Amino acid sequence: MIPLQPFGRTGHQSTRLLFGAAALSQVTQDEADSTMELVRSHGINHLDTAASYGDAELRLGPWMAAHRDEYFLATKTEKRTADEAYAEINKSLERLQTDHVDLIQLHNLVDETEWQTAFGPGGALEAVVRAKEEGLVRFIGVTGHGVTVAAQHARSLAEYDFDSVLLPYNYPMSRNSAYLQDFEALVTTCQERGVAIQTIKAITRAPWGEREQTAATWYEPLTDPDAIDTAVSWVLGREGIFLNTVGDIHILPKVFDAAERFVDRPSPDQMRDLESAFGLEPLFV
């Protein structure tokens, strides 16, 4: 089984593998139900979705109606003003068929103008704090993409005491020394303050570029089971962080299996071999 660890200071013991419900954004209800049975069979107890993930919240709704108490449930709002964000949180609760979520996250808060709006008067931060005060959410986090996200998250933590952060972490991005320096600084801050660290894009191979898109992900993922084992083990080999799964229900079982097989972090030579064999490229530059 996949081990548990404290999700920051929330008091919840979450599986180190978090189910990324972006995988449910464009599937049928039957496919979503089958996927959730798979999630359950692997003991995953933490679900991460977003208002902007297509129909994902709607697809999760029937499962939440029947199994809400079994999961730490997280969603996200990409709205930047208080009124819009508060309305979207309430819409998410309706779609998810629940009266509260455990974690609401300010989604992809990286752009400077959007950051200023969200933290300013009448900004989205006011909405998530209000939702927490009203019992609609229990905890508040922040997420983001790109090479500046780690530094921006550190800045966000200086403005508000978020309970979690979410950002990319994989071997190709670790080769970017500036990003890795910002990531390590953010990890130090989070560990000092009990902030949960969620990572995404573990099995990224490269941007699609001109290649035919053969998966539901917006980047080209690794699909070879041995390669996925190595990439997942590299992330899980970093103690204290969580790995958010892939956004394609057909690749998802390989990620679950890789996490259950994880023993040790691959060596630098193994990672260089993986990089060479599969042409790994950073998704964000």
Q: Is the Cβ–Cβ distance between 180 and 149 less than 8 Å? A: no
In this predicted model, what pLDDT tens digit does every residue of 73-84 receive, in sequence order?
999 999 999 999
Q: What angle do CA 49, 89, 86 make, to 5 degrees?
A: 145
The answer to whether the predicted template modeling score (pTM) of the entire model surpasses 0.85 is: yes
- State the pLDDT at residue 215: 87
Around Cβ 10, how many Cβ atoms within 10 Å?
19
Across 128-164, b (16+ Cβ under 10 Å) vs e yields: beebbeeebbbbbbbbbbbbbbbbbbbebbeeeebbb
**What fold does the segment set 4-278 form as a domain?**
TIM Barrel (3.20.20)
- Residue tagged 């978090």 (tokens): 18
In this predicted model, what pLDDT tens digit does every residue of 125-149 receive, in sequence order?
999 999 999 999 999 999 999 999 9
Cα dist from 174 to 144, 178, 235, 239, whole Å: 17, 9, 11, 16
- State the pLDDT at residue 97: 98
- The radius of gyration computed from the CA coordinates of the chain, to the nearest angstrom, equals 18
- Residue tagged 């508060």 (tokens): 86
- State the pLDDT at residue 279: 95
Tokens of 281: 């490229």
Query: What are the residue ranges in the chain where pLDDT is below 50?
Result: none
How many angstroms separate the CA atoms of 28 and 249, rounded? 11
